[in-house]
Structure 1
């Protein structure tokens, strides 16, 4: 095994008060050994600071199995004297390699004498308000406070308003430390157009002065950094803004530094929050009114004695005692049989059957299934582990309702490090997510009556036999319940798919077949596409559109001809679904050019009409009014500041929306820079709701691939929302008391109350130039109205706010933002 590494940034800071070297990059060992570093400065070993950020970009880009490992590094080396050489050696338990060796000439090439680092992201002038604005970031390498001044052309200071802003992007690029995260700024002042101003920044030892010139927001720091600098994880940078905008810094740092689904502290968190011995003792003494026997079935095949012992012991250590362990052994020798009889022969709850031959995973599991005498069946892999409270938690969840199917959260046990990693905090039952990939996996328990009805494992689905089995079970279940606790450890070792996704490619083909069979049984016409690497095991289900129905696209509009024109042209020229009508609801525009454009549209397109709503702006009333003028069986509510990206976006949404069990469908909306604006809504954030995965990269894997596959959500944004007309009418349309905010979330929750799914269709992709038409909530009056609408929402929907969003696991810390580090 060798070391893989890259040096992405080297800086020699030569300041008035100190000198130091910063080195940024990544390094890993192919066998997942921990990498450490030695630094030699001028030939002598020196102390240094080491910061290890997660590098999900590298992990995903190289499809590495050890997704929890912090392979990134930022090394800071203090220099007492001017350095003449530096050498960095990376080493593991088995090897060592020099990854950087610079002489004095090379070091001097990267000398930087700036004490203040400043960058202006935007400088603009608003003619209407006669206000200048400059946005950017600045920090002192010596961590001294910075004072700001704006000077006019005569050199006199101008009064201005200053607001600091968190810049997690800079933190994730290792440019600033955590205590400098508020280095962003927004400065505004009144002035005359075309007047020249200077921007002055001062610390105790340094001063920076810059003549301000107009700069658009697109000319930001990330477009200016050198090529190697750009190789830092854009995914992590953009992930952070989601919570940053909502004032949650610590959670952002955890997420972008440690990765979206794999946290460095997870092992520590799990061990700190796992069930205690005192609690286990209480569980052992608990007498349940409903106490079913749970028969756990396991297929063994030449299983390592160590794994066999740990697997069996994890069952025997259960605090709930009414269980049965059924082992079907297809091994080529009798080692497992002898071991079980010798060590567990006195436990009648453990039943072992030596099979005549290896029948494959399904056949061997069916051999174990033949031994079952219990009320429920649990699926268990021969090299995995249950937590000691697993069965207790399952049975506890069945007391009020005897659920037919129950599943839990899970994580992975790194067989090399013996640490728990990569937790999968799952949503409550989500049929669309199950059709996107087998998110349920372990631990899954099903009523034996259903197993008798659907049969056991099917060998033609080997590799994804669990996926196929789970589909057949949930199709028959009256209740599918999720226990939101880590109760199962999936062992990662070189031969497991947990460690090497490509080790069993046939699994993914079988998964595709399992989904197709599910659709055939439930009468849904759809095609299933396997997604490419690194999304192996995930699928795009494309539902066949029937009868080519009319889709009415409803677009409220106020001024902004260019925005509306971009939207309409994308619908006419990019979108490929032809049977559409477009109804534009004009609301109090003041610019003649928009009325000229309306006339042009109606003269050009027979399927476009403009209607007029003359009341004050009320998003709900405008849309309810507009629906009366539409004729389609399906309605697509669409903002005027959107553009279709994927040509089949409307058709893809329509195919989903035609399903009998679906009430509404949302799309994946992107900002102009290809970061995510919307990918579903999570209810409960700060007493209301928030968009999931905002400002991650368009192709970011996100948490467990969620923003890359379709899934069920509690709500989607009405900026692009499709629903059936009959359902819209049944729930009474938009609640007109929600004039600007809350209306789309409220609509979706009303639809959910009909027991219909709200689907986030990530394969329907649009640009969304958010809030350009009506503006942001940036005045006291707007903010007061916004807060009053939230208060009304809280009064109307107390249960979901109390119990939590069913599609967002309660282990996440929603106070910080969706899918952020779990609460201890």
Structure 2
């Protein structure tokens, strides 16, 4: 497999020669090997299984693209400022070597004074007409340069690429195929990994599908990001004055227009770490985080959601906490569940007997709310598209019992990080941020009355907590979302694990939702394990595709 991968790069990049009148320099064999390897053993195994294209694969993708009747034209936009030629050339090569050929690359030099950067751009611009280069007379910042690149773009869609990063060779193919298959798409994003200072791949990010509330905790999307060009024009490009978090502000503003968003579950972008990059030195650009807070605060104000925004100090930089102003106490009631196996009946009765409140908070028999857990839970139900909210549950020793459930094909949900210490942030900080998920815990959930009415209540054919799992999937099917907040903390003195819930109800649930369950939880990557709670890589190759 590695030999085929190297052969692909050597044949495509070639010796210093012209291919389609484009001069492409030859990378060294050392570079090629470095691009092909990971510093993490498990990720290396994953890469060998999923991450390489043979030359035959690459040619097949190109042949497939050429057969399409409508081939979208893509504009890759890249602001440049004093970037080292080695990284800049590699960035541009990654576009020139795309399997999908219908693209242009708009490079805007933002007043670089590094002669090596300028010479690199000049040389490549002369030898490849697909590289459209604009040089600004003096440095005006990344937002201005990005908007200049957007203005240059002639494509149907705009692909954002930083000047020191790389695209996977098949990245534009999958973007274009998504557009061909789903022409109403407005925004596309993909999974990504990181290039270490030595050029090795690691820090994979296998992202959830479109998650608007997760976005309020930070920009989980990162790269690859692709926008319909007309949408960018409608948004007015990126906002000057929010340098460093302009991408975050852009997606927050775009989200308010209810766009059609598609997630490509493929690692199509490689984010580089080096001495001057935010990927390596989080404190190198302090203004980024101030701009992030501003972007988020203004987004909430536009949505008429009174809130305080701050950095989430328990996590690494770039994570935020939104504290929404809770509704009045009269707007919600609580239900303490009994141990009787009639979950649906208990919840339905509580919501049917009293119509003078908007939200119902359901507790397990031994659950104790900590601090401001109840106001925190119900505050997120003020977002119109959110139908249910769940919180964090700990045992008496301070270990996690619940930080969100993941649906599995067997119908028994997985409690991620169950048994881990509370302050374990987890993969992509899932235990420590407000985020979207598919399933709240039945013993810790706030339910919006209007949702309950719209869906006709919980299905009383289920006697066990599976009634809420069924209700959750009906919630998602209705277009509403579900939220987990770690800032609603509870202590449980006794706890029934999902594996102990009713076996007949499990079978009913499995029969009813088999197709959905087999497709996989949209908020959990198929490349992550469903056997363990630690969200490690899934190395069971039969499940991931």
Give TM class, smaller chain: 0.7 to 0.9
Higher normalized strand content (fraction of residues): 1
Judging changes above 3 Å, is the alpha-carbon distance between structure 1 residues 449 and 672 closer, same or farther for their aligned structure 2 residues? same
Three-state SS of the structure 1 residue aligned to 2:353 is coil
- Asked which structure has the greater RCO (Cα within 8 Å, sep 6+), the reply is 2
Number of the residue aligned with 1:425: 206
CA distance in 1, matches of 2:409, 2:513: 13
CA distance in 1, matches of 2:497, 2:257: 48
Match of 2:514 among 798, 808, 811: 798
Three-state SS of the structure 1 residue aligned to 2:410 is helix
Is residue 457–residue 465 contact of structure 1 (8 Å, CA) maintained in 2? yes
Match of 2:389 among 652, 658, 665: 665
Judging changes above 3 Å, is the alpha-carbon distance between structure 1 residues 352 and 654 closer, same or farther for their aligned structure 2 residues? same
Number of the residue aligned with 1:291: 71
Number of the residue aligned with 1:438: 219
Number of the residue aligned with 1:717: 441
Asked whether 1:516 is paired with 2:297, we answer: yes
Number of the residue aligned with 2:191: 409
Q: State the aligned residue count.
A: 496
Is residue 263–residue 821 contact of structure 1 (8 Å, CA) maintained in 2? no
Matches within 5 A, 1:341-490: 341-402=122-183, 403-416=185-198, 418-490=199-271
Number of the residue aligned with 2:43: 266
Is residue 205–residue 428 contact of structure 2 (8 Å, CA) maintained in 1? yes
Three-state SS of the structure 1 residue aligned to 2:518 is helix
Number of the residue aligned with 2:83: 303
Judging changes above 3 Å, is the alpha-carbon distance between structure 1 residues 503 and 777 closer, same or farther for their aligned structure 2 residues? closer
Query: Residues 643-681 of structure 1, C-alpha deviation per residue, up to 9 Å, x if partnerless?
Result: 112x22111112101211110000111111111111111
Three-state SS of the structure 2 residue aligned to 1:399 is helix
CA distance in 1, matches of 2:462, 2:93: 56
CA distance in 1, matches of 2:351, 2:364: 14
Three-state SS of the structure 2 residue aligned to 1:393 is helix
Is residue 685–residue 814 contact of structure 1 (8 Å, CA) maintained in 2? no
CA distance in 1, matches of 2:281, 2:161: 20
Q: CA deviation at 1:333?
A: 4.2
Number of the residue aligned with 1:807: 523
Is residue 688–residue 793 contact of structure 1 (8 Å, CA) maintained in 2? no
Q: CA deviation at 1:509?
A: 1.1
Is residue 212–residue 255 contact of structure 2 (8 Å, CA) maintained in 1? no
Number of the residue aligned with 1:322: 102
Higher normalized helix content (fraction of residues): 2
Matches within 5 A, 1:639-788: 639-645=364-370, 647-771=371-495, 786-788=502-504
Asked whether 1:636 is paired with 2:342, we answer: no
Is residue 642–residue 769 contact of structure 1 (8 Å, CA) maintained in 2? yes
CA RMSD of aligned residues (A): 2.0
Query: Residues 265-297 of structure 1, C-alpha deviation per residue, up to 9 Å, x if partnerless?
Result: 213422442132221110011123442111111
Number of the residue aligned with 1:20: none
Three-state SS of the structure 2 residue aligned to 1:270 is helix
CA distance in 1, matches of 2:498, 2:146: 58
CA distance in 1, matches of 2:292, 2:516: 33
TM-score by length of 2: 0.87
CA distance in 2, matches of 1:511, 1:366: 19
CA distance in 2, matches of 1:807, 1:657: 19
CA distance in 1, matches of 2:531, 2:190: 23
Q: Give the structure with higher Rg (CA).
A: 1
Query: Residues 184-205 of structure 1, C-alpha deviation per residue, up to 9 Å, x if partnerless?
Result: xxxxxxxxxxxxxxxxxxxxxx
Q: CA deviation at 1:263?
A: 5.0
Q: CA deviation at 1:438?
A: 0.4
Judging changes above 3 Å, is the alpha-carbon distance between structure 1 residues 628 and 399 closer, same or farther for their aligned structure 2 residues? same
Number of the residue aligned with 1:171: none
Is residue 344–residue 459 contact of structure 2 (8 Å, CA) maintained in 1? yes
Number of the residue aligned with 1:275: 52
TM-score by length of 1: 0.58
Judging changes above 3 Å, is the alpha-carbon distance between structure 1 residues 271 and 461 closer, same or farther for their aligned structure 2 residues? farther
Three-state SS of the structure 1 residue aligned to 2:427 is coil
Matches within 5 A, 1:72-221: none
CA distance in 1, matches of 2:472, 2:447: 10
Is residue 290–residue 398 contact of structure 1 (8 Å, CA) maintained in 2? no
Number of the residue aligned with 2:287: 506
